[in-house]
Structure 1
Amino acid sequence: MTKPLAFACALAACAAVSGAALAQTPAANPMPDGSHDMYAGLGVVSKPRYEGAAGRERSVLPVFQFQWSNGVFVSGLSAGIHMARTPQVEFGPLLEVQPRRDDGGNGGAAGGIEDTRIGMYAEPDNFGAKLPADFSTSFPENRLAGMADIHTRLQAGGFLNLYLSPRWRLTSRALYGAGNDRHGARLDVGVQRLAMQLGAQHRVTLAAGVTLVNRSHNAAFFGVSEEESFRSGNAMYAPGGGLKDVHLGARWNWVLAPGWVLTSHAQASRLQGDARRSPLVERPTNLTVSTAIAYRF
């Protein structure tokens, strides 16, 4: 399979599933020509309704991660190509699906096997509009009620990972195309400790990082326009760009039998800067946990 054709297939697989993966790029996996390494399974996830929400939701979580010998990979709803041919560096193009957000929260999600990406309320700045005297400025029970829906978007960009040692790597990925105007940009930078061995059947991966975004990204997910303010009761808010969050994650893979693995994931994140000050934020510190059983074939 040629790289362009394989990448198109990977994109189709991602777009076919509603939701987004918060997945680190899988490590390059040298394999004989024409071979592949694939996992697929099912589990459950508990996560905030949206970034900064106090309420939580629980749902069934599909888990899949596919890698081919030519460098193409699909992990959750991310897809890319490993272009480097040296063990110290990984880089290549990357595609990821941003989920829809409506007044019910974010859309569904999908996870990978190697991923580790998994906000106390502050009074927001008020940029604006004078409200009628009888207009209530108290927050509604659902702060997304009256807010415009954010549509599903395909983001494009790339990744670059640098190995400090066989088990430590610096990770980075940049994506563009989020939000209804498709101008939202995000940069994730972090450090990862790969596959610590705890006995013969257990592997643990740890990660820490930060996310930086542009003004369009923050405006899409944390901003409140004048029209939205009147519809929702949230104060008008026009955030700028900058540091959006810091996060810590851990993944535990337990090999139950040849071909079967139990994969569990936890990620804590804390919103920062203008994102944290948004009137949509109920709790700046969020936790996502999931567990799933997957089969390797």
Structure 2
Amino acid sequence: MKKLIALALAGASGALCAQTPTANPMPDGSRDMYLGLGALSEPVYEGSRDRRAASLPVLQFAWSNGVFVSGTSAGIHVSSDPTIEYGPLVAFARGRTDKGLTGTAGGVGPSAGLVKPGDFELANTQRMPMKGETRLTGMDELESRLQAGFFLNYYLGQRLRLTSSFLGGAGAKRNGAQLDLGIQHIATEIAPHHSLSLSAGLTLANRQYNAAYFGVTEHEAERSFNRVYLPQGGLKDVYLGARWNWTFNAEWLLTSGFKLTRLQGDARNSPLVERPNNATVSTALAYRF
């Protein structure tokens, strides 16, 4: 099975982290579609020490004209050159409330993010934190945003490709942007009916993106327990990922993924960040039709 399965992580850790499906030759008028359901475990937000479990839909559609939908992103393969893939890309950036990132398919575990008074380095002494308050308490909410940009992938070999994608439009003022650069080894068969994909890369973010997701304004500092923090742009994170697909037959497969992200630079130094290492684990059953 050459086509990658992309899990609909609802933009978890940003839609840039999702790989675009490979552009396999398809007969005119044909399509290739996957639907399924599973579960994932992820940090409550980037940099949180608390985790939560959520249900996870699998969604990937591809048409012979190059159009694809993969999770919460969609685009068009424009190139006719088999060694290069490029085209326009749109994706949702997840919102954030005082409970964490929004956009998951639905929580299935207890409320996350509860801490004890005294866990915070207070930015002021007007009041002490109460039970259930987190680093996000008093922070402005961020709405989900539709981002737009492009992707560009180059094949170094049959199964090895350099990947890149750019998306802008995130944050409260829709001016946050990220650039993802990576390398991916595609779907190596490690045993009959079992394939493994590996990836590694880094994410660059502009100042507006880091300010929206990792910054603390004066008003937010007055309402929360965080000091004022005005981050700059630059390297946001580095990551490693793996995906294992177990194909039962021509229609059904089990797809499981693991991604480890480590925040860098001004994002890592944010007072909102409790833990720079973030791991996301997922598994889902998918049907091909």
* Band of TM-score, shorter chain: 0.7 to 0.9
C-alpha deviations, 1:82-106, integer Å up to 9, x for none?
0000110000000000111101111
Equivalents in 1 of 2:267, 2:152: separation in Å? 26
1:124 corresponding residue in structure 2: none
| 2:248 partner SS | strand
Q: Tell me which of 279, 282, 285 is aligned to 1:290.
A: 282
Q: Which amino acid aligns with 1:102?
A: T
2:97 corresponding residue in structure 1: 102
| 2:81 partner SS | coil
2:70 corresponding residue in structure 1: 75
2:50 corresponding residue in structure 1: 55
1:209/1:185 Cα in 2 relative to 1: closer, same or farther (>3 Å)? Answer: same
What value does the CA root-mean-square deviation take over the aligned residues? 1.9
Consecutive unaligned residues of structure 1, counting only runs of 5 or more, are 1-16, 111-130
C-alpha deviations, 1:110-161, integer Å up to 9, x for none?
7xxxxxxxxxxxxxxxxxxxx76x4369898410011000101000000000
Equivalents in 2 of 1:210, 1:109: separation in Å? 23
Q: What is the CA-CA distance between 1:258 and the residue it aligns to?
A: 2.3
2:116 corresponding residue in structure 1: none
Equivalents in 1 of 2:189, 2:270: separation in Å? 41
Q: Which amino acid aligns with 1:69?
A: S
Q: What is the CA-CA distance between 1:28 and the residue it aligns to?
A: 0.5
Equivalents in 2 of 1:193, 1:233: separation in Å? 43
1:18/1:152 Cα in 2 relative to 1: closer, same or farther (>3 Å)? Answer: farther
| 1:227 partner SS | helix
Q: Tell me which of 33, 43, 66 is aligned to 2:38.
A: 43
Equivalents in 2 of 1:79, 1:260: separation in Å? 23
1:141/1:283 Cα in 2 relative to 1: closer, same or farther (>3 Å)? Answer: farther
Once the two structures are superposed, the pairs formed by residues 143-182 of structure 1 within 5 Å of their partners are 143-182=135-174
Question: Deviating runs (4+, > 6 A) in structure 1?
Answer: 137-140
1:266 corresponding residue in structure 2: 258
TM-score (norm 1): 0.84
Q: Percent identity?
A: 57
Q: Tell me which of 26, 29, 46 is aligned to 1:31.
A: 26
1:114 corresponding residue in structure 2: none
Equivalents in 2 of 1:19, 1:286: separation in Å? 16
1:135 corresponding residue in structure 2: 126
| 1:165 partner SS | coil
Does structure 2 retain, via aligned residues, the 8 Å contact 1:267–1:287? yes
Q: Which amino acid aligns with 1:87?
A: P
Greater relative contact order structure (CA < 8 Å, 6+ sep): 1
Does structure 1 retain, via aligned residues, the 8 Å contact 2:92–2:145? yes
TM-score (norm 2): 0.87
Does structure 2 retain, via aligned residues, the 8 Å contact 1:18–1:99? no
| 2:191 partner SS | coil
Q: What is the CA-CA distance between 1:18 and the residue it aligns to?
A: 9.9
Q: Which amino acid aligns with 1:190?
A: G
Q: Which amino acid aligns with 2:163?
A: T
Q: Which amino acid aligns with 1:48?
A: P
Does structure 1 retain, via aligned residues, the 8 Å contact 2:10–2:71? no
Equivalents in 2 of 1:89, 1:137: separation in Å? 56
1:233 corresponding residue in structure 2: 225
